[in-house]
Chains A and B, each alone.
Chain A
Amino acid sequence: MSELLQFLFSGITVGAVYALVALGFTIIYNASDVVNFAQGEFVMLGGMITWFAHAQGLPLPLAALIAIAATAALGVAMNKLMIEPARGAPVVSLIIITIGASIFIQGAAQLVFDKQIHSFPAFSGDDPIRIGGATILPQSLWVIGGALVVFLALWLFFTRTLLGRAVLATSNNRLAAQLVGINTNFVMTLSFALSAAIGALAGVLATPITLTAYSVGIGFALKGFAGAMLGGMGNPKGALVGGFLIGLFEAMTAGYLSSQYKDAAAFIVILAVLFFMPQGLFGRKSTDRV
């Protein structure tokens, strides 16, 4: 029983990180129908830049803030330099561009920083909290809280604000969005900035638990993608639930089968969703008549 509880705790902790990555996917997908595979690199940069700035002597909160801002700026640059010039290209080409960007960012991080594994101190210490025979780290609560807050903010943004609707309108029909006065280039810039910032935040929150290195991005991208697919691409609620489910599935696989199979869990989910449930759990049904 306490074993199960322990697996549950570790599942929702990594699940929260995947949920944050999946939420990042959601925003860019909603604005442009593009699945941004560089999303995992934003997580890596959040961790690596924070570590680097902290190691230079900056206080942790400031280092984290710098990391988030710098990553957001990189997201904007990626849109301006790689996505915007290719506008009008099929979505598949744009997705391949994001894979290229991901490889590029990884290489650059290896040069600018190093190949070592890094971390920085947990925000509220390392004393495990005991609950029902199992333990959870205070940092886990930070990660879980972060995922919930970001979800809530995004949900309000897309359903309650005109700018959020403008993002949805831009992906639904870019021509019509321009005709009603929406600056669609700005919407794209905003989406990349937001997605990158959320990815970086995930890296900041998770690094004291998961550690970071130049190469961790791919894994986060893959698992966040699996979560977003499972929940239904484009739906914040789906991203949250899907991310948590992937984390739990992974933790159970590692706990009851073998940690060797842990990474296969996400693949199995991606394949199963593609075969049996392409819309995902909360995916929007296509209502186009034409």
Chain B
Amino acid sequence: MLTVEGLRSRYGRIEVLHGIDLHVDSGEIVTVVGANGAGKTTLLRCLSGVQPVTGGSITFRGELLVPVPAYKRLRRGLAQSPEGRQIFTNLSVEENLRLGAFLFNDERVEKDMDDAFQMFPILKEKRNLAAGGLSGGQQQMLAMARALMGRPSCLLLDEPSMGLAPIIVSQIFDVVKGLKALNVTVLLVEQNAFGALKIADRGYVMETGHITMNGAAEELIADPRIREAYLGI
């Protein structure tokens, strides 16, 4: 579904992605784990078109993505819940969700919003409040729900667990796992390698702009090098 080949990107003169190769098949949950500063966010920004690509290619459902402007990528089926949540703080929870479905104006919008409220009941309680007043965990839920309102076939998730209490993290990972049943393919980027690998089918390890390992999630969890470097075991 998504194929990345030799992807390079830079900030000014400093290259931070030095040729990334990875692929995500339809229906999979794939995770990219790596330490802070490895380049995970930059990778997702390239995929969504908000970061210039200086080399390599991105193919999504058979189409080359690099020339497609950012705002058209959701129309192709690619959504992102970005790092730092990036919700519309001045707008209400409900308005955030409605804007998630900006591309649509049909009955399904209402139904999708009900589904989002079912997925995250706390959002329903707070639907009329300004999103900026939500707690970190609630903002993360809103960011994911907003991305799903765009009816993506593939969802890019940037560190949904960042800064959240363990109980919220496990709740959010459960939701990510459940996306399979909704036919949403997932590319999950995480520093929380253990949590991510536990729900993923496959994983990649990223270090300073390179992919250094990849394989089935259970193999990576069992790998002594990963256990030492990322799982703290």
Contacts and interface: CB of A to CB of B under 8 A. Distances in A.
A113 B150 CA distance: 51
A5 to B, nearest CB: 41
Contact of B74 (A162, A168, A179): A179
Interface residues of B, number: 34
B132 A180 contact: no
Contacts of A85: none
A284 B130 CA distance: 11
B209 interface: no
Greatest chain B CB density within 10 A among A165, A175, A176, A183 is at A176
B99 A179 contact: no
A169 B75 contact: no
A179 B132 contact: no
Contacts of A233: none
A173 interface: yes
A179 B89 contact: no
A39 interface: no
Contacts of B74: 179-181
Contacts of B149: 180
B216 interface: no
B150 A173 contact: no
A235 B57 CA distance: 44
A16 to B, nearest CB: 28
B173 interface: no
B75 A181 contact: yes
Contact of B132 (A168, A177, A287): A287
Contact of B71 (A165, A172, A178, A286): A178
B89 A166 contact: no
Interface stretch (B21-29, B79-87, B180-188, B225-233): B79-87
A162 B132 CA distance: 20
A165 B95 contact: yes
B70 A179 contact: yes
Interface string A135-170: 000000000000000000000000000100110110
B82 A176 contact: yes
Interface of A: 162, 165-166, 168-169, 172-173, 175-184, 284, 286-289
Given A165-B95, A183-B71, A287-B131, 17 more contacts: A162-B105, A166-B102, A168-B88, A168-B91, A172-B88, A177-B99, A179-B48, A179-B50, A179-B74, A179-B82, A179-B86, A182-B99, A286-B90, A287-B89, A287-B130, A288-B89, A288-B132
The 3 closest A-B CB pairs, nearest first, are A287-B132, A287-B130, A181-B74
17 contacts: A162-B105, A165-B99, A168-B91, A172-B88, A175-B50, A176-B82, A176-B87, A178-B48, A179-B79, A179-B80, A179-B86, A180-B100, A182-B99, A182-B102, A287-B131, A287-B133, A289-B89
